[in-house]
Amino acid sequence: EAEVAQSPRYKITEKSQAVAFWCDPISGHATLYWYRQILGQGPELLVQFQDESVVDDSQLPKDRFSAERLKGVDSTLKIQPAELGDSAMYLCASSLARDRSGGYTFGSGTRLTVV
C-alpha cells in the first residue's frame, strides 16, 4: 500500500538552532499538507501546496518557518530559529483529488523536541 514518507522520525534540537523535516507524498498526489500537532490536541494546518504552489500558509509563522515544494513532489519544512514552543509532532499528508472529494493520507510524522 502506498505511503507518505517522512524523515526523520524523531529530532531533538537546541533552542535557536535550525531544523528541517522532509516529506515524500504518495506518487501522483498533487496536494501536500504540513500539520503541527501539540500533545493532547488535534493537528492544525501550517501550509498547503497544490503542485509546487502554496495555496494556504495563513497559519504558518513566517518569521521562523518556511516550506517549499520545488518540483511539486517532495517537500521540506524548516524552522529557524527553533523555540521551546515548537516542540510537537509535525505531520505531512497528501491527497489525490483536486475536486475535494478525496481523503487524506498521513505519514508517520516527525516528533520534534526543542531543549
Which residue among 65, 69, 77, 109 contacts another protein (CB under 8 A)? 109
Are 16 and 114 spatial neighbours (Cβ–Cβ below 8 Å)? Answer: no
Our CB check for another protein shows the closer of 28 and 103 to be 103
Question: Residue 37 and residue 89: Cα distance in Å, rounded?
Answer: 5
Instruction: Report 46-65 residues binding another protein (CB under 8 A).
Output: 48, 56
The sign of the CA dihedral 97, 102, 107, 113 is positive
CB 41 within 8 A of CB 55: no
Q: Please choose, out of 16-24, 44-52, 61-69, 72-80, the segment that lies near another protein by the rule CB under 8 A.
A: 44-52
Instruction: Kindly tell me which residue out of 33, 34, 49, 65 binds another protein, with binding defined by CB under 8 A.
Output: 33
